[in-house]
């Protein structure tokens, strides 16, 4: 399942662009030397990385739709990356485990938060494969796409302009995608209809949601 979310305010997009404009970037292969598919640049300066990661992490966690969809238990510090003309990221799937200073995260879901205006660069869509077809995402600034980390995906070559995004990886309390998707459907019903429902039936719905989470969710 794929989910498009609006996560950043216009001010937050502006702040991320400001940070990127003055920060030092390095080639993406520096942290991933064996990955020949990867041809992009990533934010390097640790202080600036912390600052932008905090802003982006808070914005994601503020989104009720994100929480309802992903059931996040850990989020890798979001990293600002950019693609200049001729750069791309070839077809790949993401690493299962990501080692972070605070522990290791299992990547169940991957996420790209778009920061550039789509009109300002050519190419650079994120393509996520779905069997023999591919879905293509080139979203407005502040919008995010969340997709399963085990799907083949690629960033098509940028032919003009600059593609600025932030990427992150999410560990979910519900690792099984089918169970997570069912729980998301219940969450949506509760979020959209909950206030209008008969209170006893709303309580029943909440019971089912919470009980399935107890059964299917990983223990804290």
Ligand X SMILES: O=C(O)CCC(=O)C(=O)O
Binding residues for Fe cation: 92, 94, 153
The verdict on 89 binding ligand X (CB under 6 A) reads yes
Rounded alpha-carbon distances, angstroms, from residue 133 to 100, 124, 150: 34, 18, 16
Site string for Fe ion, 65-104 (x = CB under 5 A): -----------------------------x----------
Shortest CA distance to 108 belongs to which of 60, 168, 164?
Answer: 168
The verdict on 162 binding ligand X (CB under 6 A) reads no
* 3-state secondary structure at position 159: strand
Q: Output phi, psi for 115, to 5 deg.
A: -120, -25
Is there a contact between 109 and 148 (Cβ–Cβ < 8 Å)?
A: yes
- Shortest Cβ 143–ligand X spacing (Å): 12
The verdict on 5 binding ligand X (CB under 6 A) reads no
The verdict on 153 binding ligand X (CB under 6 A) reads yes
The verdict on 45 binding Fe ion (CB under 5 A) reads no
Residue for token digits 């390095």? 26
The verdict on 126 binding ligand X (CB under 6 A) reads yes
Which segments are annotated as binding site?
92, 94, 153, 163
């Amino acid at each position: 399942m794929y989910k498009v979310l609006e996560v950043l305010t216009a001010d937050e997009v502006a702040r991320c662009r400001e940070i990127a404009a003055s920060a030092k970037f390095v080639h993406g292969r520096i942290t991933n030397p064996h990955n020949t598919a990867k041809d992009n640049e990533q934010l390097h300066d640790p202080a600036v990385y912390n600052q932008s990661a905090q802003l982006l992490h808070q914005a994601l966690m503020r989104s009720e739709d994100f929480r309802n969809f992903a059931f996040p238990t850990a989020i890798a510090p979001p990293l600002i990356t950019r693609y200049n003309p001729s750069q791309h990221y070839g077809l790949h799937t993401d690493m299962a485990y990501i080692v972070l200073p605070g522990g290791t995260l299992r990547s169940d879901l991957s996420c790209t938060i778009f920061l550039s205006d789509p009109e300002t660069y050519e190419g650079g869509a994120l393509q996520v494969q779905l069997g023999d077809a591919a879905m293509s995402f080139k979203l407005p600034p502040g919008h995010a796409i969340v997709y399963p980390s085990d799907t083949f995906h690629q960033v098509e070559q940028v032919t003009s302009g600059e593609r600025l995004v932030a990427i992150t990886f999410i560990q979910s309390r519900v690792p099984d995608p089918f169970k997570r998707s069912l729980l998301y459907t219940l969450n949506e019903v509760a979020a959209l209809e909950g206030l209008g429902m008969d209170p006893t039936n709303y309580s029943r719905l909440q019971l089912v949601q919470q009980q399935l989470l107890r059964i299917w969710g990983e223990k804290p």
